[in-house]
Amino acid sequence: MRRRTLLGTLPTLAVFGSFATSCGGVQVGVGASALAAEAGERLRIDGSAFELVRLAGPLEHPWGMAFLPDGRMLVTERPGRLRLIDEAGRIDPRPIEGVPRVWARGQGGLLDVALAPDFATSRLVYLAYAAPLGNGAATRVARGRLDGHHLADLEVVLTADPPGSGGRHFGSRLVFGRDGKLYVSTGDRGEMDRAQKLDDLAGTILRIEPDGRIPDDNPFVGRAGVRPEIWAYGIRNAQGLAVNPWTGELWEHEHGARGGDEVNVIEKGANYGWPLVTHGVDYSGLPIGRGKTMPGVVDPIWVWTPSIAPSGMAFYDSDRIPGWKGSLLVGALAAQMLVRLELDGRKVVKEHRLLQYEIGRIRDVRMGPDGLVYLLTDAADGALWRLGPATG
C-alpha cells in the first residue's frame, strides 16, 4: 500500500470519483487508481468533487465508533482502549476508565461500541469484545454508564459461549433494532461446524433485551437443546450489521473463506448455510460444503469473489452527498477500499469501488449526524477519516 506523508493536524484531500465497467450485467463502479500525496489534488467520485480529511490519528487498530449527542465520538482501539475524539479531531489523551479486560490476541480485543437508544438519559454504552474465558476466549457484550471519563456500573449482558482456543472470528457488531432489542453478530471462532450447532452461540446473530434478558418472541425460545438468544445462524464471521432505515430490516455482511464474502438480509430463525454451502473455497483450494445453495438455507443478496474482506457497514440516509441516498456503504480490509452499493429494494443494481489502496484497510464505516461518511483504518497507526462533498 502506498502511504502518503501527512503534514499538520488536519490534512485534507479533495477527492473525485469513479468510472463504470460491466461485470455480469451489473454495473461496477471502480475507484480511481490514485490519490495524489499532496493536499488539493483532485479526482472525481460519480462526477462530483469530494473532500477527504484525516480527522484523527494515530489510533492503534481502531475497530468501532459511535457518535455522542454533544458532537464527540467514542472510538475503540483493539488492544483495549476506548477513546474520546472531539469534533476538531483531537484525541483525548486519557482513555475512558472502567473498560472490561479484553483478550487482545489475533483478531480479538476491544471491538464494537454502540449507544443505548435512550443514551441521552441513561448514558449507557455497550461494548463488544473478546473476553478471556477458561482456556480461551469468547465474544462478550457489556454495558456501562458513561460518567465523564469513566464507565460506571459495568455489567455483562451476553457471553457467546462456549469459548474457543483460537484467535479468529469473534464477529462482532452491535446494533439496536427498531424493536428496541440488541442484535449481536458472532463468528464461528475458526471452527466452522459450530455455526450449525444450535446449542452454541458461535456463528450466529443473537437478539437480546438491552439488559441481557431473552425476548419471549425469539425463534427458539422453549425449544430443548437450543440457545434462546439465537435469532439466525449459519454465519461465518459477520463484521457488518445495520438496520435498513427504510424497511427496518436487519442487514449483515460476513467474511467468506477464499472468496464468498456475502451480504445478507437477516430473517427470524433462518439458516444462512455456513459451512454447508458457500460461494468460496477453503484456503487450501479444496471445496467446502455441498455447493452454493441448498433447500432450507437463505441465499445472499450479494457476493464478492475474490474476497474483499468486508468490515463495517452503514446505510446512507442523507441528502448531504447528492446521489448517495439509498446506498449501502461497506468497508474492505483486504481490498482496502470503500464500497458503495446502489440498491433497488433488496437488489444490488450497481457497485462503486472507491479510495482503493489509498488510505489502507477500512475497518468501519458510519454515516455521521452531519450526513458525512466516517471511516476507520485498521493499522498500528490507524486513523479516523471523514469523506464528504468538497467546499469552496
Cell numbers placing 159: 457471553
Residue tagged active-site, from 169, 253, 255, 279: 169
Cis amide linkage into residue 172, ω under 30° from 0:
yes
Please give the DSSP secondary-structure letter assigned to residue 16.
Answer: E
3-state secondary structure at position 194: helix
How many Cβ atoms from other residues are within 10 Å of residue 320's Cβ?
15
Residues near 148 by beta carbon (within 8 Å), at least 6 away in sequence: none
302 HSE (CA, 13 A, CB side) = 27
Cell numbers placing 69: 449527542
**317: phi then psi, degrees, rounded to nearest 5:** -125, 65
Identify the bridge partners of residue 385 per DSSP, sorted by sequence position: 54, 375
3-state secondary structure at position 192: helix
Is 201:227 a contact under the CB 8 Å cutoff? yes
Residue 61 annotated to the active site: no
Is 142:154 a contact under the CB 8 Å cutoff? yes
Is 51:387 a contact under the CB 8 Å cutoff? yes
Cell numbers placing 371: 450526513
3-state secondary structure at position 75: strand
- Which residues are tagged catalytic? 169
